[in-house]
Chains A and B, each alone.
Chain A
Amino acid sequence: MKGRKLISGTLRLALIFAVICGVVYPVVVTGIGQALFPYQANGDLAQLGNATVGSYLIGQSVNNSPYLFHVRNDSASGVDPDITVASALAQALVIHNTTNISIAYLDGLIHNNTQYSMFFFGTAFVNALSLNIQIIDHFHNSIAVYAKIYNMLNDH
């Protein structure tokens, strides 16, 4: 009798928690999260023109393009979206050489997007996708390679 009570009590407790913690709680959090922070809750999606081209949080490979900033492929996640400012400045030179966009513009862009691993010191980094989208957005009317990318993603 005591054994049966132990089994029925603990089994019921497990089932109740499975419903509350496994279903009700995540669904409620999803509802409130989607209502309060729809942009973040759906993964910080990045737009170029009218097209969704990725998530700002997920680094994307750009196939060695000399016109765009490259992410690292040796990080822990494999999708690190950020590069160090030192790396970005070096890559800016390549982009300047292939597109003639001024160094001052590129350096300014990097400067305006810089963040730090320890909030106000530590490793200085920038989001590569954010830089790429801002460049394409700004130059797709004047530079052919960027027009090509813009049109590929926006023509249906």
Chain B
Amino acid sequence: MIGTGYLLITALVWATIIALSWGLSKYLKKVYKNEKTFLDKLLNPFENVIYRILGIDRDKGMDWKEYFLSLFMFSVFTVAISFIVLTFQGMLPLNPMKFHGMSWSLAFNTAMSISSNTNLQHYNGGSTLSYLGQMVGIQFLQFTSAASGIAVAVAIFRGFAGKRGGDRNLGNFYTDMVRTMTRVLLPLTLLLSLILIGLGVPQSLSGYSLVRTLSGSFELIKVGPVSSLVSIMQLGTNGGGYYGANSAYPFQNPNPLTNYIELGAMMLIPTSMLFLFGLMLDKKGEGRTILIASYGLYAIDLAIALIPNTGLGPGMETRFGGFSPVLYTVTTTAFTTGSVNTALAAMHPLVILAAFLGMMIQATPGGAGVGAMYMLMYVMITVFIVGLMAGRTPEYLGAKISAKDVELAIVAFLSHPIIILVPTVLAYALGAVHAIGLGNGPVGFTEILYEYTSAAANNGSDFLGSSGNTVFFNVSTGIVMWAGRFIPILIMLAISGRMYDKKRSPEVALRTDDLIFPAILIFSIIILAVLTFFPFLAVGPILMHLEGIGNAL
């Protein structure tokens, strides 16, 4: 049994984040409803310059197709910029360590990974990336992918709110992106960066220094712009660390306090988005419903992970003890962030099982923006199932849900297992698994299934690390990460566009803002996830557990 002290700390983190998120969501509503905020005086002139350079009509409402196309083209360009910087960093400035450029397949994988908010890392940043590579190759994409996830969610909320929400269609992609960046992400990351520096995370551009240690040997002190990267990678649920060992590396996460601040940071925006849904609809109860469902699933995940209750062991960091790595691993997959403060191979199979559940559901509460989007996908499916059982036309928010809407939601849902399971099978069939020294047993299978689940869920935690740096894994996971990002976004924007046009009736057939609906929602999500993924989990982590394999180490 886990000690009460640990549960109290967990409860304290949850309570703090939920309270802060409530406050932040009220501010976010003002930002996306274009209402006055305290930052206007400071930021308006600055934003006006950006709009002038962009040369766009910032008030123009976009339909779902235009919103998606703008997002997609923008993402392609961000990948191109990052790819060029990563490939040619050897010839570019801010490279005091004289690192060479990445291979094409690794640069492709990295740019696809960070731009899709996945941050699967087949590279070891601390020993291969120049400062410019970290800043423009990685950090820039961590900002844009977080901002685009938030913008998409806001656009979808506007569609669900419908015409009486008062917005012109789904909103304007450019305005949403600019305001997310200047009014949300940059102020929050600036504040968090400075707090983390004060607590010991380095922030320097003066190059690695060589020192002589007590034993007389030489050691490189790998300092760089670490804090500025860690703050966006956590707040933006990116998860791609400055170092290969991610937040287990002491410079990235030096002590228990930074550990809990970094943990809370990744929960903040996804939780705020759930409240924001209710605020933008002017129906707080609907926001509460998806909040309860998300955190209910997160609690179930955590309960599974805490069953084994193992202590500090190999593959873990002393300063975090045995409990924090479990909480961190569950949270980083529940919020699809993907940063880790331990070696995953050190985690008990039941912790890995909980991690899988978070990544397979993607809404527990999921990543910045997209987590809320996935939850709405499950709501559509659940409303339909409940409608079938009650024998009446399904409705949500006063709008009739047609067969086409449900079909679309189911296609979005099914795209997830397809892009996980097909490449997993291919990786075995084409010999790519054996090529990196993994076998056919449950341990090897768990690691490969985890790789594609993490890629498809845009999570980014992994077992493979730089051993995944082969052309097969770089290219296949690169494609899976973008499919996992843009297929569901495309479909959910389409559903949202359809919702926007629907007539709303004031009478309510099925209440979705009470305390019963969230319970039904949790139940239906678990059934959907279990039916889809159980056979694969059975031959992976569950078999490991039954065979008595404590962990992969």
- A and B from one assembly? yes
Residues of A that sit less than 8 Å from B by CB:
5-18, 20-23, 25-30, 32-34, 36-37, 40-45, 48, 51-55, 57-63, 65, 68, 72, 74-84, 115-119, 121-123, 125, 129, 132-133, 136, 149, 152-153
- Tell me whether B197 and A119 are in contact (CB under 8 A): no
- Tell me whether A23 and B214 are in contact (CB under 8 A): no
B341 contacts which chain A residues (CB < 8 A)? 76
Extra pairs beyond A22-B135, A79-B249 (9, CB < 8 Å): A6-B69, A22-B140, A23-B136, A53-B214, A54-B213, A57-B254, A76-B340, A152-B216, A153-B214
A116 contacts which chain B residues (CB < 8 A)? 256
* Closest A-B pairs by Cβ, 7 of them: A117-B321, A22-B140, A123-B321, A76-B248, A22-B136, A14-B77, A21-B143
- Tell me whether A54 and B322 are in contact (CB under 8 A): no
Chain B 249-305 residues near chain A, CB threshold 8 A:
249-251, 254-257
- Tell me whether B70 and A9 are in contact (CB under 8 A): yes
Q: A8-B55, A43-B223 are in contact. Are A15 and B245 (CB under 8 A)?
A: no
Q: A9-B174, A43-B204 are in contact. Are A80 and B55 (CB under 8 A)?
A: no
Partner of A81 from the list B50, B147, B221, B250 (CB cut-off 8 Å) is: B250
Shortest distance from the beta carbon of B462 to any chain A beta carbon, whole Å: 13
A119 contacts which chain B residues (CB < 8 A)? 9, 256-257
B181 contacts which chain A residues (CB < 8 A)? 17, 20-21
Looking at A20, A65, A83, A132, which has the most chain B CB atoms within 10 Å of its CB?
A20
B203 at the binding interface (Cβ < 8 Å): yes
A6–B62 CA distance with the chains assembled, in angstroms: 12
User: Which of B21-29, B312-320, B477-485 sits within the interface?
Assistant: B312-320
Partner of B140 from the list A10, A18, A55, A74 (CB cut-off 8 Å) is: A18
B312 contacts which chain A residues (CB < 8 A)? 84, 117, 123
Shortest distance from the beta carbon of A149 to any chain B beta carbon, whole Å: 6
- Tell me whether B321 and A118 are in contact (CB under 8 A): yes
Residues of B that sit less than 8 Å from A by CB:
3, 5-6, 9, 50, 53-56, 69-70, 73-74, 77-78, 81, 135-136, 139-140, 143-144, 147, 174, 177-178, 181, 186, 189-190, 193-194, 197-206, 209, 211-217, 219, 221, 223, 225, 227-229, 232, 243, 245, 248-251, 254-257, 311-312, 314-324, 340-343, 346
B216 contacts which chain A residues (CB < 8 A)? 149, 152
- Tell me whether B318 and A83 are in contact (CB under 8 A): yes
Shortest distance from the beta carbon of B191 to any chain A beta carbon, whole Å: 10
Shortest distance from the beta carbon of A135 to any chain B beta carbon, whole Å: 10
Partner of B78 from the list A14, A72, A76, A132 (CB cut-off 8 Å) is: A14
- Tell me whether B256 and A76 are in contact (CB under 8 A): no
Looking at B6, B190, B211, B255, which has the most chain A CB atoms within 10 Å of its CB?
B211
Residue of A nearest to B260 (CB): A119
Q: A21-B143, A41-B204, A117-B323 are in contact. Are A55 and B221 (CB under 8 A)?
A: yes
A46–B39 CA distance with the chains assembled, in angstroms: 41
A75 contacts which chain B residues (CB < 8 A)? 248, 314-318
A84–B322 CA distance with the chains assembled, in angstroms: 12
A50–B249 CA distance with the chains assembled, in angstroms: 27
A123 contacts which chain B residues (CB < 8 A)? 311-312, 318-322
A74–B315 CA distance with the chains assembled, in angstroms: 6
Shortest distance from the beta carbon of A22 to any chain B beta carbon, whole Å: 3
A22 contacts which chain B residues (CB < 8 A)? 135-136, 139-140, 143
Shortest distance from the beta carbon of B259 to any chain A beta carbon, whole Å: 9
A23–B205 CA distance with the chains assembled, in angstroms: 12
